[in-house]
């Protein structure tokens, strides 16, 4: 079984001990939080997850999180948030990790645990939050799929469900290349199958984001949380985030609607230019829906697409199953994200696969 799926599945069982806390389940979630290839790339986070997995306090903290957010990344982000707020022990450790100069990752991980034991509220007080990682790398995938969905539409509206800070509403502002050119705003994506990147992107008329907790790049506290959700050892992601914050004032305006998907979809459609194709986009959002919400969302999106002038693009974990869309169980796809689309007037089909952060993209033949 894919390790990622193991921790990500809120329904996996374990030994339930007193107070209904499932500590076995929490242990597995920490244990499988990283993909195997990440263990080498992220020595500090690997060591820290190892410590958390074996620490009763850390197990309890995770086990108490509401099920849809019971994700080790939330605990890791809470710790990094404390560091970014200037915690005297955590601040220097995370700073060194972000700058690639942390000499002793195992020792640092142990010191983080000591700090957590001295002040568990550093994490406990932040567990009301949601993992809101806003990953711009997904815009490399959005560009390719939107160009395809809008091949006959010169103008589109984009409604992004689960928009976080709305960064991917600017998917057309990024340059996509297959190599790092040193510009933090360049997205590096390997097209595993041929993708016509020369195809012009449609003009975006309206950009609307929906989120229960929309974050503002102009808010210092929101920026801190967004940074806390980025893995400290991935310097390029931090640099890119800073570059986006600097570039944002010159980018077009977006409208952010506060609320859950099904509460605000109608309002979003009130705002779009009805003469242009509207593309509903969700990337790593439906993963956090309840089963009922996911079913209602799919029905609503399908209904709108069937009426015409609306298309749908979904990029989600393989944990998210959509009706009538078969899942390819090939090993190499299990830790990937699946891309599902509905063309205007059509029904849902798999378009392809991509890396969860948009590092590679593969189009399914005939999609």
Ligand X SMILES: C[S@@+](CC[C@H](N)C(=O)[O-])C[C@H]1O[C@@H](n2cnc3c(N)ncnc32)[C@H](O)[C@@H]1O
Q: Among 168, 314, 317, 337, which residue interacts with ligand X (rule: CB under 6 A)?
A: 168
Q: Which is nearer to ligand X, 108 or 210 (CB)?
A: 210
The C-alpha atoms of residue 61 and residue 84 are separated, in whole angstroms, by 20
Looking at the DSSP bridge assignments, the partners of residue 313 are: 281, 341
Binding mask 95-134 for ligand X (x = CB under 6 A): -----------------------------------xxxxx
Least distance to ligand X from the beta carbon of 291, Å? 12
Applying CB under 6 A, which part among 37-45, 281-289, 298-306, 349-357 lies near ligand X?
Answer: 281-289
Burial of 10 (0-12, 13-18, 19+ CB in 10 A): middle
Q: Is residue 211 involved in binding ligand X (CB under 6 A)?
A: yes
Least distance to ligand X from the beta carbon of 205, Å? 21
Applying CB under 6 A, which part among 49-57, 190-198, 206-214, 240-248 lies near ligand X?
Answer: 206-214
Looking at the DSSP bridge assignments, the partners of residue 209 are: 160, 256
Q: Is residue 362 involved in binding ligand X (CB under 6 A)?
A: no
Q: Among 45, 94, 288, 312, which residue interacts with ligand X (rule: CB under 6 A)?
A: 288
Least distance to ligand X from the beta carbon of 328, Å? 22
Q: What is the end-to-end Cα distance of the chain in Å, rounded?
A: 27
Binding mask 135-164 for ligand X (x = CB under 6 A): x--x----------------------xx-x
Please list, in sequence order, all residues whose beta carbon lies within 8 angstroms of the beta carbon of residue 6, skipping any fewer than 6 positions away: 12, 28, 29, 31, 32
Q: Tell me the C-alpha to C-alpha distance, in Å, between residue 152 and each of 11, 70, 123, 148, 307.
A: 43, 42, 49, 9, 17
Q: Which residue is nearest to ligand X (CB)?
A: 162
Q: Is residue 314 involved in binding ligand X (CB under 6 A)?
A: no
The C-alpha atoms of residue 163 and residue 212 are separated, in whole angstroms, by 9
CB atoms within 10 A of CB 283: 28
Q: Among 111, 129, 260, 334, which residue interacts with ligand X (rule: CB under 6 A)?
A: 260
Q: Among 46, 71, 80, 283, which residue interacts with ligand X (rule: CB under 6 A)?
A: 283
Least distance to ligand X from the beta carbon of 108, Å? 26
Least distance to ligand X from the beta carbon of 129, Å? 9
Applying CB under 6 A, which part among 59-67, 179-187, 211-219, 329-337 lies near ligand X?
Answer: 211-219
Q: Among 32, 44, 284, 360, which residue interacts with ligand X (rule: CB under 6 A)?
A: 284
Least distance to ligand X from the beta carbon of 229, Å? 8
Phi and psi angles of residue 17, each rounded to the nearest 5 degrees, phi first: -105, -170
Strand stretches in the chain, DSSP E:
155-161, 175-177, 186-188, 190-191, 203-211, 255-258, 277-283, 310-317, 337-342, 349-354, 360-363
Contact between 335 and 353 under an 8 Å Cβ cutoff? The reply is no
Least distance to ligand X from the beta carbon of 237, Å? 11
Binding mask 339-358 for ligand X (x = CB under 6 A): --------------------
Q: Among 71, 80, 276, 285, which residue interacts with ligand X (rule: CB under 6 A)?
A: 285
Q: Among 213, 218, 347, 367, which residue interacts with ligand X (rule: CB under 6 A)?
A: 213
- Length in residues, the chain: 367
- Find tokens 């079913």 and name the residue: 295
Q: Using the CB atoms, write b or e for 77-88: b if 16+ within 10 Å.
A: bbbbbbbbeebe
Strand arrangement of the beta sheet that strand 337-342 belongs to: 190-191, 360-363, 349-354, 337-342, 310-317, 277-283, 155-161, 203-211, 255-258
Interacting residues toward ligand X by CB under 6 A: 130-135, 138, 161-162, 164, 168, 210-213, 260-261, 283-285, 288-289, 293
């Amino acid at each position: 079984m894919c390790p990622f799926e193991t921790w990500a599945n809120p329904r996996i069982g374990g030994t339930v001990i007193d107070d209904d806390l499932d500590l076995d389940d929490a242990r597995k979630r920490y244990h499988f939080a990283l993909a195997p290839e990440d263990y080498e790339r992220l020595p500090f986070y690997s060591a820290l997850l190892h410590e958390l997995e074996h620490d009763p306090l850390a197990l309890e903290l995770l086990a108490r999180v509401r099920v849809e957010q019971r994700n080790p990344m939330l605990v890791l982000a809470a710790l990094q948030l404390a560091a970014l707020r200037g915690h005297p022990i955590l601040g220097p450790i995370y700073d060194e990790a972000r700058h690639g100069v942390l000499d002793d990752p195992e020792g640092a991980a142990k010191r983080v645990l000591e700090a957590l034991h001295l002040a568990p509220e550093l994490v406990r007080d932040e567990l009301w939050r949601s993992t809101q990682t806003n990953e711009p790398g997904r815009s490399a995938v959005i560009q390719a799929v939107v160009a395809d969905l809008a091949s006959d539409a010169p103008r589109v509206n984009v409604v992004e469900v689960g928009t976080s800070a709305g960064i991917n509403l600017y998917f057309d502002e990024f340059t996509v290349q297959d190599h790092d050119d040193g510009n933090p705003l360049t997205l590096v994506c390997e097209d595993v199958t041929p993708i016509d990147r020369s195809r012009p992107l449609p003009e975006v008329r309206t950009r609307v984001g929906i989120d229960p907790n929309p974050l503002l790049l102009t808010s210092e506290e929101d920026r801190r949380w967004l940074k806390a959700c980025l893995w400290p050892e991935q310097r390029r992601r931090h640099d890119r985030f800073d570059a986006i914050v600097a570039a944002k004032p010159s980018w077009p305006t977006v409208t952010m609607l506060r609320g859950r998907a099904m509460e605000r979809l109608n309002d979003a459609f009130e705002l779009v230019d009805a003469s242009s194709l509207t593309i509903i986009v969700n990337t790593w959002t439906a993963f956090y829906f309840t089963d009922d919400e996911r079913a209602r969302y799919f029905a609503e999106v399908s209904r709108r697409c069937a009426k015409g002038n609306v298309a749908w693009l979904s990029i989600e974990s393989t944990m998210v199953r959509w009706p009538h869309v078969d899942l390819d169980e090939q090993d190499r796809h299990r830790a990937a994200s699946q891309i599902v689309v509905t063309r205007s007037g059509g029904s849902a089909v798999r378009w392809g696969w991509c890396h969860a952060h948009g590092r590679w993209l593969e189009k399914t033949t005939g999609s």
